[in-house]
Chain A
Amino acid sequence: MSAFDLIAGVLLVASALAAVTLKNAVHAGLALVGNFLVLATVYFALEAQFLGWIQIIVYAGAVMVLFLFVIMLLFDARADVSTGRMPWMKWVAGGFAAVFFLTLAYAFSALGPVHPLAEIKLAGGLPGPLGQLLYGPWLYVVLLIAVLLFAATVAAVVLVQPGVRGARKKPQVLEREREQGEVGR
């Protein structure tokens, strides 16, 4: 374990803790950006260069900008708008997370040593070797992701349109209501 591993680990845990405990939502979002950036450097260290850059562009760039936009659009940066209904929830959550971590740690420690392949073929995780996998054995997954992203785009546009939020009445229902209105007159 090198010094880089230690420093990166401390930074990752500290920024993650800040992201889930800070009261100000914008501060929590910025802590999360820091977490993503440190994680990208860890990816570089683990021979995943392309993934590291994607992490910076997609997560620290696009996703967090969306988050900060929505936070600043909807709230005046208050994190916990309604507290106090379940004040004991923090302790329950902490205990639950601790038990979960211990379980995972036990599972990982029970793991046998991973045998590397005869030849390490990571090639630094550059786009070339990754692309050969993506457009080879993983092609159907890539196509499914394309469908998913398309559906998500349509859903996001439809969800935020003001007119379509309420249930639309069928034409027959509208006609019946109009008739009843005329009878009432």
Chain B
Amino acid sequence: MSYYLLLSALLFAIGLYGVLARRTAILIFMSIELMLNAANLAFVAFARASGNLDGQVMALVVIALAAAEVAVGLGIIVAVFRARSSTSVDDLAELRG
């Protein structure tokens, strides 16, 4: 089990790198999906280790949540692109103080 937990931590760290290093909103979004999947892998590994199905149900919940998040997030990205013709997060800095 600890092998898959370490794998999950590694995937999460790679997703974190993507969120910080990418400069385009949609690619940051893809990295977030990677992190959600890493968390799911940890849930499934724990479910397997403890012999309890609740972990798998939680992973299902996360997948449904990710689907909703993708629908709204991509809608926001399309709307931002229409208004600014760019989704680079460096250009969208109007809210900074």
**Is the CB–CB distance between B72 and A71 below 8 Å?**
no
In the bound complex, residues from chain B placing their C-beta under 8 Å from that of A17 are 14
- Give the size category of B's interface with A: 35 or more
In chain A, positions 151-183 with a C-beta closer than 8 Å to chain B are: 151-153, 155-156, 159-160, 162, 165
A131 to B12, CA, bound (A): 29
**Is the CB–CB distance between B63 and A59 below 8 Å?**
yes
**Which one of A66, A114, A152 contacts B49 once the chains associate, using CB atoms below 8 Å?**
A114
Measured CB to CB, the closest approach of chain B to A89, in angstroms, equals: 6
> How many A-B contacts are there with CB distance less than 8 Å?
235
Interface string of A35-69 (1 = CB under 8 A from B): 11001001100111011001100110011001100
- Assuming the contacts A32-B33, A149-B64, A159-B72, asked whether A93 and B59 have C-beta atoms less than 8 A apart, the reply is no
**Is the CB–CB distance between A51 and B44 below 8 Å?**
yes
**Is the CB–CB distance between B56 and A20 below 8 Å?**
no
- Assuming the contacts A71-B26, A81-B24, asked whether A122 and B51 have C-beta atoms less than 8 A apart, the reply is yes
By a beta-carbon cutoff of 8 Å, the part of chain B in contact with chain A is 1-7, 9-24, 26-27, 29-31, 33-34, 37, 40-41, 44-54, 56-57, 59-61, 63-72, 74-79, 81-83, 86-88, 90-91
